[in-house]
Structure 1
């Protein structure tokens, strides 16, 4: 087993020596927060160097933010849909114009590689453009079939819920901070937003650009602090909650939202499977598996943690995969030549280390990686491939959320599908085959909210017109597509009756009216009316 490739960090590209730690920038971004409860210093995970001391919010700050957001929402919902969409189109351009500084912020706060940080910029821009262009289709008043042709006119309108609470995670500090809130404000809601306290600067700069695009300041208000205190206050005071994070915390969010009878959408954990079928292009699948398993150091809800490989291609795939894994370049630098960056925290490093050591101690074989790399940075861990993982091992069905994948051989495709469907999760899956039709047929049998054929996660994640979310314990609701914006509105029916009432009238007896209605219903069926 060869030593993992590493790239020395160029001192001039030290992520803590960039735009992100310019004190004038930090003071400006800190001024966006509604926060009166002390302060906290954040640290760059790749270097352990301090990044920013930012003020903290308390429950009273959240209550004040919701109060002003609710006041602003009364006028914001009356802003024309076209004007709201125009703000998102301006935002699309500003995000792309400021892509370098946004990527720098993502790198310094999350520790991820530059190429993966750029994915977040692209995703936010695509989301803004998509919803701006689709606004009228998704939110415009729709004519529906009335009870009787001509006599009954039925319409469906979409009423914004009010103030939306967003609790976004650290692993995609730009994309998950903004992609859920953009459709919320487009739909006429206002937002109170708690980005993760490990990665607040990225969200604050992205929100600042939204203000520059024309969004009223009180229409999107950031607060900063820990989940139980600040997140709990958001759930208790807003009209809808959007949360991305662990399944354990998601259950608590759902419980609290349910007690208030407000809606919530939850994107939670996953133990995502990838199936390499007997007719797969081995080298293409191996290359795709590297991205699928180790992008953002595996700290991606939709990344692959289980590989099921057909007998016919197992040896060739493993050879090709391991060759690529051992060439992954680790670094604390910020250049485009870095393939994988740091884990986010000591807690994540501890989980990864524990899962690998537990598997090793119980008989699993480490095919690649398998150790921390403090010589690169305090929270680096090698991309790791395990074989011989069995159910008694901790990493078998528990989400690792790090650069660790288990590989399994299969001989029967039906068995592989059944094994891929085992467990409580159902977020993402991947199928590799030379036959797209066959891949889609296998995809239809997998329990997952998204299935990518000949790709790991990017095809579904980047197809903004399709809904994204989890089945089973991987979540509730969907982001993206029509579902991603209509979760933030309540449908309202307006039905207008013309000429005749839907009741006995003009001297007609009730019994005769019932017979007339019966005849009318039979006629409507013969006419093919739904």
Structure 2
């Protein structure tokens, strides 16, 4: 189906930004590019050019790494990690707090880079700056809590003293995606470094400058040289080389690639965390505040043009309010402004590439050809920028359509009626994913109970995804094919450590002394165990 074949939206097209002048928007100082790319380990002689999604203009040409560069990066990281692992927790915390301040001080510059590389609206670019700062501050304040040696009861009270240490893994390999080039590049690495590890990191080839800019700040505030190594290049080539060398692998991306990462890591018996795809559902119960639910749906579905692993792609709305909710949602979507501008004011930015545009276009085209209705949106918008696509609401999507169960990863959401809450939960749980969900209702207690029956790693009440994602003390990750492991909270830092038990025995050995017979020893120990049980001790 060509662009002209798309049906006209029922309420008119979305406006472009009339003040936008794309020809003047994207100019990155060559000296700045050289400064940032100097941090790359890349000696292959090859290079790749990155392009701005807003306009298709070149941003920068960057050198590409090869397997030898990955080997050198790991060698340098291991040298740095040996010293860093002995650094006091208080010093690590102080550096993380300094990074928090540096990121906020350079927020405008970092948002520019995110917009250049990923095509986001500025408000969504700021979400990334905010998340990096929150993550740095959280782990700075909680390193002692998460990592300090912990005493546990020994096998015999007083005689056995036991402690549990948290020992760093060594060098963590991080492979990060293009859709959140700042926070998904950096925020997973901060607890790794806080735990005493070094990092070898491959950002996506479309969006390396955002990561390089924060790593530049990382070094400026005083983190040791060599502690965070960056390589750049194609995933199949460079990613595999990282997995073959890392002591732990942190991957964010598609489920298909995540399975390959897990299989390769398993060959070496190396642990990994995988944050993968989602087909996330939002439930709007009959007692929901409709306007609040509408705003939540817009934020949940269209933030970063829907290119977010926790983005809402399915809306399940109670029969009693369905018509009113959908009418208001359509009107709200049609007030959204598409923007290819580096200033605030736009509601949604661009898709990142022609590939993403083709996927979104194909999903909508397939649904329409099989009988789905486009309530609003549904079309590419080349008048705004080469990869823009209107925020789209579909009705009548069924299992024969690609977008029914397959992740679109774009600004397309399907809306469905439901008769009762049990039905809504069952439909939300359909499919193979289990990353994020949302429930809108006035009855918070009821929502918390329903959440326990939803197969998703995070469930937000009266919010789309930000309430859980922004709460750094709460773990975030997926069930089923949405991944394994968790970022954030204690689990987000403990994944980068090995637990080590250390116990010392005092006075008597854990065996019968030479002067006590086996039978007498058995009776004594058995009596002691019964007394310990009565005392309530572990």
TM-score of the superposition, structure 2-length normalised? 0.97
- Match runs of 1:139-288 below 5 Å: 139-288=147-296
Q: Secondary structure, in 3 states, of the residue corresponding to 1:307?
A: strand
Counterpart of 1:42? 50
1 CA distance for matches of 2:219 and 2:519?
Answer: 63
- Match runs of 1:421-500 below 5 Å: 421-500=429-508
Structure 2 vs 1, CA of residues 13 and 135 (structure 1 numbering), >3 Å: closer, same or farther?
A: farther
Counterpart of 1:94? 102
Q: Does 1:11 align with 2:18?
A: no
Q: Does 1:507 align with 2:515?
A: yes
2 CA distance for matches of 1:66 and 1:28?
Answer: 22
8 Å Cα contact 1:460/1:466 also seen in 2: yes
Q: Does 1:28 align with 2:38?
A: no
1 CA distance for matches of 2:19 and 2:184?
Answer: 28
8 Å Cα contact 2:22/2:55 also seen in 1: no
Counterpart of 1:338? 346
2 CA distance for matches of 1:57 and 1:510?
Answer: 65
**1:15, CA displacement in angstroms?**
3.8
Q: Does 1:121 align with 2:129?
A: yes
Task: Structure 2: state its 5+ residue gaps.
Answer: 1-9
2 CA distance for matches of 1:470 and 1:9?
Answer: 41
Structure 2 vs 1, CA of residues 233 and 56 (structure 1 numbering), >3 Å: closer, same or farther?
A: same
- Match runs of 1:292-441 below 5 Å: 292-441=300-449
**1:510, CA displacement in angstroms?**
1.6
8 Å Cα contact 1:15/1:107 also seen in 2: no
8 Å Cα contact 1:162/1:190 also seen in 2: yes
1 CA distance for matches of 2:416 and 2:237?
Answer: 42
Q: Secondary structure, in 3 states, of the residue corresponding to 1:164?
A: strand
**Displaced runs of 4+ in structure 1, greater than 3 A?**
12-15
Q: Secondary structure, in 3 states, of the residue corresponding to 1:218?
A: coil
1 CA distance for matches of 2:366 and 2:153?
Answer: 60
Structure 2 vs 1, CA of residues 9 and 352 (structure 1 numbering), >3 Å: closer, same or farther?
A: farther
Counterpart of 2:59? 51
- Match runs of 1:93-112 below 5 Å: 93-112=101-120
**1:11, CA displacement in angstroms?**
2.4
Q: Secondary structure, in 3 states, of the residue corresponding to 1:395?
A: helix
Task: Structure 1: state its 5+ residue gaps.
Answer: none
8 Å Cα contact 1:300/1:401 also seen in 2: yes
TM-score of the superposition, structure 1-length normalised? 0.98
Counterpart of 2:7? none
Q: Secondary structure, in 3 states, of the residue corresponding to 1:42?
A: strand
Structure 2 vs 1, CA of residues 55 and 390 (structure 1 numbering), >3 Å: closer, same or farther?
A: same
**1:506, CA displacement in angstroms?**
4.4
**1:410, CA displacement in angstroms?**
0.4
Which one is further off, 129-138 or 78-87? Answer: 78-87
Q: Secondary structure, in 3 states, of the residue corresponding to 1:74?
A: helix
